[in-house]
Chains A and B, each alone.
Chain A
Amino acid sequence: MPPKRKNHLVIDIENVGMDVDADFDSESEDATRRRSRNRKAKPQRKARQVSDEEEEDEDEDKSPKRRGQRRRTKSRGDEDEDEDNGQQSVANKRSKASRRRGAKNSRKEQSDEEDESDKESKQKRGRAVSKKSKEEQNNEKKEKDKGKNGDNKNNKKKKAEKNSSPVSSDDSDEESEEMSEGELEALKEQVEEKKKLIATIRNKPWRMQKRLSVLKEAQDFVERFEGALGKGKGRRLYAFKVMMTKKLIKFNRDFENFKTACIPWEMKIKEVESHFGSSVASYFIFLRWMYGLNLILFGFMFGLVVMPEVLMGLPYGSIPRKTVPRSDQATEMDLSVLLDFGGYCQYSVLFYGYYNSDRTIGVLKFRLPLSYLLTSVGIFGYSLLVVIRMMARNADVGGDGGDDADFTFSWKMFTSWDYLIGNPETADNKYASITTSFKESIVDEQENQKDENIHLRRFCRVSANVLILCSLGGSGYLIYYVVKRSQDFAKMDPSSLSWFEKNEVEFVMSLLGLVCPPLFESIAELEDYHPRIALKWQLGRIFALFLGNLYTFLFALFDEVNGKLEEELSIKNSSEWALSQYYANYSAFYNTTVVPPPNVSPADVIRGPCWETAVGQEFVKLTVSDVEVTFLTILIGDFVRAFIVRFLNYCWCWDLEAGFPSYGEFDISGNVLGLVFNQGMIWMGAFYAPGLIGINVLRLLTSMYFQCWAVMACNVPHERVFKASKSNNFYMGLLLLVLFLSILPVIYTIMTMPPSFDCGPFSGQQKMYDVVMETINQDLPAFMGTIFSYASNPGLIMPAVLLMVLAIYYLNTVSKAYQQANADLKKKMKTARDDEKNRRNNKDSTNQMMKDLEELLPNKSLLPPPFEEDTPSETVSVKNSKQTKTKPGPTGKGVNVEKEVSLAAPNPRRPVTQAPVQRAGPPMNARGAHAEPGRGRGRGGPPRR
C-alpha cells in the first residue's frame, strides 16, 4: 500500500506544481484527501520536499562554492533556462513555494482540529501525533526561514542544512502544547508573509492571470488562518484587530480613489502632453499646482479674515471707512470706476481699508486685527513651507543620475523616446530630433571635440552673454530714467500732461517685456545649447528683466506711499484740530462737559488717503491688467495668427504654414515666468487686498481652460521636442526666489510703516505688529508675556541665530562629504570598468606601475597553462552575473551607494573571459602572459605557484 500511496502523492504534488491556477481551487479538496493518508505518507513527502528544496537550491543558490562545483556541468543548462524564460523560472519558483505552502496548509488545518478536539485521545495516537508534530515543526522552521529569507536567497543553503539535520536528530518527547505555540508563531509569520505578498503583488513582473490567482490564494489563506490565531480573549481581540485592519485597508483604498478623483484636469493635461511633449505639459502641471496652492491660501484668507468681517463686523455704510465718501458717490457704480477698482470696490471687503479696528467682533469675540496679521504672515509661512517641501521632494526623486556622462549613447538609445507622445506630428518632430541628436553625438565622437569648434562656441557664448547683459543694463537704465521722469511729472499739474506722459512707466515696462524675450531668444541662438538648457538660460534672463521691472514698480510705489503718509499726517492733524474745536465750541456754547459726538454722516467725515488700500488697488489693477494682457496676447498672437495662417493660406502668394508667420509655438518660459511673477504680486498684494487671492484663483481657473484650449487649437509642437525632466525644480526655485523677494516689502511695511489712522484693522496703532504685543500683554497670562519678552531679547536671538548658522554649516559639510564619497565611488566604478574593459580588449592592465612590475617578473613561462585557469574564471564570470541578477534593482538614491559598492566589488576580481576556446588556442603568446599577473593583482592570491 505505501508505495502506491507515495506514487499517488508524488503525482499529486507534481500536478499541483505544474498547474498553479488549478492548484488553488483544488486546494481544499486536496487537503481533505490528504488528511486521510497524511500520517503514513508524511515521511515520503518529507523526503520529497527536502529534495525539492535541494533542487531549488540548485537553481537559485548563488553561493560560490556550489556554483563552482555544479557549474561546470550545469552551466549550459542553467543559462538556457534563465535566458529562455526568466518569466517561467519565476513562475516555477513561485509554484514550488505555493505548492509547499499548500501542502503545509492542509496539514496545519488538520493539526488545528486535532489540537482542539482530540486532546484526550492523544495517548491513543501517541506515536503518530508526535511524529507528525515533529515534522510540522520542521516545516515551520522551513517556512520561517523562507519568510525571513524572502528575497535573500543566499541563505537558502543554511536552510537546506537545517532541514536535513532535524529529521534525524529530532527528539520525540515534545509536548503538543508547545507545538501549537510554535505553530501559531509560524502561522502568524506566514500570514504576515502573505499579507506582504498581497501588498507588493503589483510589483511582480508576472502575467495578470497569475497575479490574480496568486492573490486569490494568498487572500484565501489569510482569510482562513487569520481568525485561527490567538486564543480565548486574545483570539477575539485578534479577530477584531484583523477586521479593523481590513476596514482600514478598504477605507484607505477608497480614500485613494477619492483623492485621485479629486485631481482636476488630469485628462486635459495628458492630452496636451501627448500633443506637445512633456515640457509643455510641465507648464500645465505647474499651473495646476499653483491653483491648488492658491486655493488653500484663499481658504485661509477667506475663512479667517474675510468671512468674519462680513458676518460679524459692522455692515456697509455704518462707519466712514466702510462708506464711499460724498464726493465719489456720484460715480461709485460707474463701470469705468469699478474697473479701476475705485468707487464701491475701494470701500468693499476686497481691500485693507474696509476692515475695522475693533479688538474683538461678534459674539465669538473674534480678534480680527490679530487674525488679519497672523493670517497674512501665515500665508507666507505656508507658501514657503510648501514650496520648499515640493523642491525637496523633486530633488529627492531627481537623484544625481544626470551628471555622469558614461552612458551618452545608451541613454539616447533607450530613453530618448518620449512615451507620452500620441500625435503624429509630434512624433515626426521627435523622430527628427532623435536622429539629429544621434548624428550630433556621432559627429562629436568622431571629431573627438575639435579645438577650433570649441573656441568658436565659447566665443559665441561669451559674446551672447555680453550682449544680453548689455540689453539688461540698457533696459534697467531705461526704466530708471522713465521712473525719474515720472516723478517729475507727478509734481506737475496732472491736467497739463498728455496720456503718454501719464502712462509712460507702464508703457515702457510692457514694451520691454514684449521686446526683450524674443531678443534674448534670438541672441541665445548664438549659444547653440540643448533646448532644455537654453530654456533655463532664457528663463533666468527674462527673470532678471522682470525682477528689474518689479522692483522699479515697488520703489515707485514706496515713493507714492511716502507722499500719502505726509498727506495723511496733515489730514489727521486738521481733523483732530477740527474735532477739538467742535468740542471746545460745544462745551462753551451749551456750558456742559458732556459733549455728544458730532452728528456727521459717515460719508462726509474727513478721511485720510489710506495708503494701504491704494497699494492694494495698485496690485489688483496690475494683476487684472496682467490677465488681460495675457489673454489678449494669446488671442491675437496665437489664435488670430493661426486663423489667418490657416485660412488665408488658400489665397496667398507663399506658403503661410511652412513659411514666414507659420503657427505659434507654446512659449514655455514666458508663461512660466508670467505665472511666477503673478504669484509674487499675489503674495505681496494679499496683505493690502485680501480679495486679491480670490481674484487670482479665478484667474488661474480661467487660464487653465483658456490656455489648454489655445494650445490645442492654435499652437504647433516645438521643432525640437524635448523632455522636461527636472526643470520642474527650476520653476520651483524661481518661485521660491520670488516668494522671498515679495516677503521683504510686506514685512518691511508691517514692521516699520505707521498704519493709516482711520482705516484698516490696525488703525490707532503705532505699528502694525503692535497688535500682537497688545494681545500678549492683555489676553495671555502674565508669564507668557515675560516669556515672550525674554524670547525677543537680543541676548537670546543672537545665540539662536548663531546656532542655526552652525547647524547649516554642519549640514553643509556633511552633505559635501557625502557628495565627495559619492564622487569617489563613481570614480572607482569607472576605473574598475575601464580596467576591466582594457583587460578584456587587450589583456593589458591600465595601471602603468603594475605593468612595469610585471615586466620585472623574471619568468613568465612559469605560468600554468591557460587551460586550467579557464574553467575557474568561467565559473566566476557566471557567478558574478548571477550575483548581480538576484540583487533587487536599485530602489532609490539611498540604496544606490550600497549597490554601487557591491556592483563595483565583483568586477576587479577577474577578467571575464568569455570564450575559453579562443584562449586555449594560442597558449603562450605575450597577451596571455600579461593576463595572468593582472588577474592575480585583482583579488586574492593568484593560483600561480
Chain B
Amino acid sequence: MGNKQTIFTAQQLDAYQDCTYFTRKEILRLFYRYRDLAPQLVPLDYTNHPDVKLPYELIGSMPELKDNPFRQRIAEVFSEDGQGNMTLNDFLDMFSVLSEMAPRDLKAYYAFKIYDFNDDDFICKSDLEKTLNKLTRNELTEDEVRMVCEKVIDEADLDNDGRLSLEDFQHMIVRAPDFLRYRNSDT
C-alpha cells in the first residue's frame, strides 16, 4: 500500500474490492477514468460519498462504449435511475460485470437485461428486432428481420411462450462458443 491516495479511505477501497472483480489499482484507475469524463463535476475526494452523477452523453462517449451498438442500453441497465446517468458506484459496477473476471452467470444475467429493451424481463420479438437492427445498422429488410427473430425464438425458446425468459437465455448463451470471452472490457 505504498502510494498515498486521498480519494477513498482504506475501508472504502477494501469494500470496493470485495464488491467488484478489481484490484485496488484498477479501482483507482477506473476512478480516474470516471473523473476524466468530467473533471469539473467529480471531486477528488470520495471519502464522504458525494452524490455525483454523470450524464449518459459523457458515459456513452467513452472509447469502450463509443462504438458499441448497445451502449445506451448498457448505460441504462447499469445506472441506478435507468436513464444512463451514472454514479461512480454504477460505473464501477458496470466495469466489474463487463470485466474478464466476472463469472458467466452474472454476465448472462446482465446480458439478458441489456437485450431486454422494454424491461419486461422477457426478450420478446420487439426486443429481438431492436437488437438485430442495432447489430446490422438496419441493413436487413423487414422480412429478413422477421425471419431471423422467428428463428431465434424457435431455437432458444424452451417453454414455448413465444419469448425468451431469463432461463431460456442462459441456457442458450452459456453454450455459445463465443460467450466465453464475452465482453472483456478494458482496465
Contacts and interface: CB of A to CB of B under 8 A. Distances in A.
A205 B106 contact: yes
A840 B160 contact: yes
B58 interface: no
Interface string A769-806: 00000000000000000000000000000000000000
A889 B105 contact: yes
A415 B176 contact: yes
A438 B93 CA distance: 32
Interface string A390-412: 00000001110110101111110
A274 B183 CA distance: 11
Interface stretch (A82-90, A497-505, A566-574, A700-708): A82-90
B15 A207 contact: no
Contacts of A887: 167
A888 B80 contact: no
Contacts of B172: 407, 410-411, 414
A414 B20 contact: no
Contacts of A11: none
Contacts of A434: 135-136
B66 interface: yes
Interface stretch (A209-217, A637-645, A844-852, A934-942): A209-217
A253 interface: yes
A837 B103 contact: no
Contacts of A888: 105
A420 interface: yes
Contact of B173 (A203, A278, A414, A833): A414
A881 B159 contact: yes
A866 interface: no
A407 B136 contact: no
B57 interface: no
A751 interface: no
A772 B179 CA distance: 51
Interface stretch (A23-31, A145-153, A157-165, A255-263): A255-263
Contacts of A198: 18
Contacts of B33: none
B170 A438 contact: no
B19 A215 contact: yes
Given A83-B122, A884-B167, A205 B109 contact: yes
B155 A408 contact: yes
B148 A438 contact: yes
Contacts of B56: none
B147 interface: yes
Contact of B89 (A84, A207, A254, A435): A207
B174 A414 contact: no
A422 B64 contact: yes
Interface stretch (A129-137, A232-240, A720-728): A720-728
Interface string A486-510: 0000000000000000000000000
Interface stretch (A119-127, A423-431, A462-470, A579-587): A423-431
A215 B15 contact: yes
A253 B13 CA distance: 12
A650 interface: no
A176 interface: no
Interface in A243-286: 253-254, 256-257, 260-261, 270, 273-274, 278
A323 to B, nearest CB: 50
Nearest to B88: A208
A445 interface: yes
What is the predominant secondary structure among interface residues of chain A facing chain B? helix
B186 A83 contact: no
Contacts of A912: 159-161
A912 B160 CA distance: 7
Nearest to B90: A208
Contacts of B25: 257, 260-261
Contacts of B162: 914
Interface string A187-209: 00000000000100111010111
Contact of B170 (A424, A439, A890): A890
Contact of B177 (A83, A401, A431): A401
A272 B165 CA distance: 36
A420 to B, nearest CB: 6
B21 A202 contact: yes
A907 interface: yes
Nearest to B98: A419
Say what secondary structure dominates the interface of chain B.
helix
Contacts of B35: none
Given A205-B106, A260-B26, A86 B121 contact: yes
B128 interface: yes
Interface string B91-122: 01100101000011110111100010000111
From B25, B26, B172, name the one whose CB has the most chain A CB atoms within 10 angstroms.
B172
Contacts of B174: 401, 889-890
Interface in A346-392: none
A28 to B, nearest CB: 18
Given A415-B179, A422-B66, A442 B137 contact: no
Contacts of B23: 256-257, 260-261
A197 B15 CA distance: 13
Given A202-B19, A257-B24, A837 B154 contact: yes
A880 B160 CA distance: 12
B73 to A, nearest CB: 12
B184 interface: yes
Contacts of B109: 205, 889
Most chain B C-beta atoms within 10 Å of own C-beta, residue among A833, A881, A891: A881
Contacts of B115: 414
Query: Residue among A208, A404, A881 with the most chain B CB within 10 A?
Result: A208
A885 B16 CA distance: 29
Between A202, A273, A408, the greatest number of chain B beta carbons within 10 A of the residue's beta carbon is seen for A202
A420 B139 contact: no
Nearest to A430: B67
Contacts of B42: none
B83 to A, nearest CB: 14
Given A208-B19, A415-B173, A837-B160, A254 B1 contact: yes
Nearest to A722: B178
Contact of A421 (B20, B67, B108, B121): B67
B182 to A, nearest CB: 7
Contacts of B50: none
A435 B144 CA distance: 11
A413 interface: yes
Nearest to B157: A837
Given A401-B175, A426-B67, A420 B185 contact: yes
A877 interface: yes
Which 3 residue pairs of A and B lie closest in terms of their CB atoms, listed nearest first?
A208-B89, A419-B183, A427-B67
Given A274-B64, A410-B172, A411-B172, 14 more contacts: A202-B18, A212-B16, A278-B184, A398-B180, A401-B174, A401-B180, A409-B155, A415-B173, A416-B178, A419-B182, A435-B135, A880-B159, A881-B159, A914-B160
28 contacts: A83-B121, A83-B122, A202-B96, A212-B19, A215-B19, A260-B26, A401-B174, A409-B148, A410-B156, A411-B177, A414-B172, A415-B176, A415-B178, A415-B182, A419-B98, A419-B184, A422-B67, A422-B186, A435-B136, A435-B139, A438-B135, A725-B180, A836-B160, A837-B160, A884-B158, A885-B167, A903-B171, A907-B158
Interface of A: 82-84, 86, 198, 201-203, 205, 207-209, 211-212, 215-216, 253-254, 256-257, 260-261, 270, 273-274, 278, 397-399, 401-402, 404, 406-411, 413-417, 419-424, 426-427, 431, 434-435, 438-439, 442, 445, 723-726, 833, 836-837, 840, 877, 880-881, 884-885, 887-891, 903, 907, 912, 914
